[in-house]
Amino acid sequence: MEFAELIKTPRADGVVLHRPFMPNVEGTLCLTGHHLILSSRQDNTEELWLLHSNIDSIEKRFVGSLGSIIVKCKDLRVIQLDIPGMEECLNIASSIEALSTLDSVSLMYPFFYRPMFEVLEDGWNSFLPQNAFKGLESMTDEWRLSEVNKDFSVCSSYPSLVVVPKDVDDDALRKVATFRHGGRFPVLSYYHSKNGMVMMRAGQPLAGTNGRRCKEDEKLINATLRPGKRGYIIDTRTINVAQQAKARGGGFESEANYPQWRRIHKSIERYNVLQESLIKLVEACNDQSHSMDRWLSKLEASNWLSHVREILTTACLAAQCIDREGASVLVHGTEGTDSTLQVTSLAQIILDPSCRTIKGFQRLVEREWIQAGHPFQQRCAQSAYSNSKPRHEAPVFLLFLDCVWQILRQFPCSFEFNESFLVLLFEHAYASQFGTFLCNCAAERARLFLPEKTVSLWSWMNRPQELEHLTNPLYEANSLVIWPSVAPQSLLLWEGVFLRWNRSSKCLDEAYDEMVHIIEYNKELQNKVNCLRRQLAELETDEPVLRTP
């Protein structure tokens, strides 16, 4: 298919762009296969480059022959384009609609994008499972790297390499896979080096109504327990939801078959509920006419912060079992691709200081989200402004980032990255020139040769000039477990995402710059002091003559 077929009016002059808190820009609008571009064609004015894939929905309005298109983006920004000429406006609107809803992944921009920067380190090779396993090997010999899924036939949503208990062979894994939803047999998610406890994740067991069991499954997860020790199974669903799942062939681990495990049910919502929550929250944030009462009641009714709280609470529970109780943990919900990953990744941020570094967080996202088979393509197909009925869309990853932001806000010195880093990941998960968040699982990525055909977000991000903006100036490595408060008054609305386009951030940005300035100045002085001290020490040892009067 040629993009040109979809573009009836590639160019319009005299278009006026309205953006909140910024002056209007009049200029020429151009449509390309992947971008909407508006340029005033004057020096020193900023051009607007908007990826079609970032557009969530559009609205048309007409006053006489002047048409307006209101463009609502997946990053929650809303802009307005005034286009002279009814026909031009209609053509442009229909082109945007068509180009922003392309079905085929291989037509997406990452396949056409060529980097304009020097790649220092190819992000596609930065976080390979075999390298991560080397780190684990140095701590314990109880685990092995299995190639059972190398052609993605055992579990279609798992990567080709997974970490499993050493004593469980590949044949057993194949059997266990038939007993778990989507073939997602229990695999290692995290090894707590402090006490050797582990966190595993999986899909729900396919116990069904007649209580099917699988000896290999029991053996697999029991292999992670120390003699005489009990473990915890954290089911992210309520007991009712888990019971109902039995009727559809799913279910949970029964006490009888898993006597060494204590099961705890939590209630993290599933994707359609979360999507609805996002839509309500964004609607509340965009309505400027609210009174205080109405705003607070809409904020409450959106339930967004309740979801944040439930996820954080469950992650704290998992971390507590591992660190405080000295027990191993298995986490699953239904598919094991959404709430499960929220819990396992947040628990690691709480427990493991290395996840709070930039590289470590990228590794976590790569391992616990991208390679673990979170269906980004489906979940991030639409955002809060979509008019179409949601199918598989859900802000699961955004909720995870929101939870990380809540912890970052409570521990502002314990993270190497800043808020911008999290906002950037949110943007790229929904629309990007990079291939990192494309597709739903490793198998699809391999089929489309993503590493060969697209550029990794990490390749771009891990360069000094980008890292500079993403590094937290307050960071001081903290080797401790950090326990976030989940009390309601401790959880705030993430302004950096939800109010980003609704208020001017000038004063806050200035404050941030000022903080960076102070810290740099302090470092400079510290260096001077150290330098002078060294000089003094040298003088004292080299020339004792100077000291005698």
Partner 1 sequence: MEHIRLPKVENVKLLDRVSPRRSRVGTLYLTATHSIFVESLAPQRRETWVLHSLVCCVEKQASTESGCPLLIHCKNFQRWPGWKYEELYCFSYKPNVPEAQRRQEWAFVDARADYRRMGLPNSQWKLSSVNRHYKVSDTYPADLLVPYSATPPVIVGSSKFRSRGRFPALSYYCKDNHAAICRSSQPLSGFSARCLEDEQMLEAVLRSNPHSDFMYVVDTRPKLNAIANRAAGKGYENEDNYSDIKFQFLGIENIHVMRNSQQKMLEVSELRSPSMSDFLEGLESSGWLKHIKAVLDAGIFIAKAIAEEGVSVLVHCSDGWDRTAQVCSVASVLLDPFYRTLRGLMVLIEKDWISFGHKFSHRCSHLDGDPKEVSPIIDQFLECLWQLMEQFPCAFQYNEKFLITVHNHVYSCQYGNFIGNCQRERIELVHEKTHSLWSFLWTNRADYINPLYRPDHSQTQGLLRPSTAPYCFKYVPDTEKTDVNRLWSHLLKTHLN
Q: Name the residues that contact partner 1, by CB under 8 A.
A: 285, 288, 290-297, 299-300, 303, 305-306, 309, 410-414, 474, 476, 483, 485, 487-493, 495, 499, 502-504, 506-508, 510-511, 514-515, 518-519, 522, 525
Q: Report how far residue 352's alpha carbon sits from residue 465's, in angstroms, rounded to the nearest whole number.
A: 27
Q: Report how far residue 529's alpha carbon sits from residue 57's, in angstroms, rounded to the nearest whole number.
A: 57
CB 409, min distance to partner 1, A: 9
Token pair for 528: 């001077």
Residues 6+ apart with CB under 8 A from 20: 78, 501, 502
Which residue shows structure tokens 């502002």?
412
CB 476, min distance to partner 1, A: 7
Q: Report how far residue 404's alpha carbon sits from residue 350's, in angstroms, rounded to the nearest whole number.
A: 10
CB 510, min distance to partner 1, A: 6
Decide: residue 351, CB within 10 A, 0-12 exposed, 13-18 middle, 19+ buried: buried
Q: Report how far residue 203's alpha carbon sits from residue 155's, in angstroms, rounded to the nearest whole number.
A: 11
CB closer to partner 1, 146 vs 414: 414
Q: Is the dihedral of CA 81, 87, 93, 98 positive or negative?
A: negative
CB closer to partner 1, 434 vs 475: 475
CB 383, min distance to partner 1, A: 19
CB closer to partner 1, 389 vs 506: 506
Compute the residue count for the chain.
Answer: 549
CB 70, min distance to partner 1, A: 20
For residues 406 and 491, is the Cβ–Cβ distance under 8 A?
A: yes
CB 300, min distance to partner 1, A: 4
CB 305, min distance to partner 1, A: 5
CB 233, min distance to partner 1, A: 24
CB closer to partner 1, 166 vs 523: 523
Dihedral angle over CA of 463, 118, 46, 60, nearest 10: -90
CB 31, min distance to partner 1, A: 34
CB 468, min distance to partner 1, A: 20
H helix runs in 110-193, sequence order = 129-137, 170-178
CB closer to partner 1, 195 vs 502: 502
Give the chain's radius of gyration (CA, Å): 26
CB closer to partner 1, 209 vs 522: 522
Q: 29-53: buried (b, 16+ CB within 10 Å) or exposed (e) per residue?
A: bbbbebbbebbbeeeeeeebebbbb
Residues 6+ apart with CB under 8 A from 535: none
Which residue shows structure tokens 């290395």?
354
* Maximum C-alpha span of the chain: 97
Q: Report how far residue 180's alpha carbon sits from residue 249's, in angstroms, rounded to the nearest whole number.
A: 10
Q: Name the amino acid, one letter, at 156.
A: S
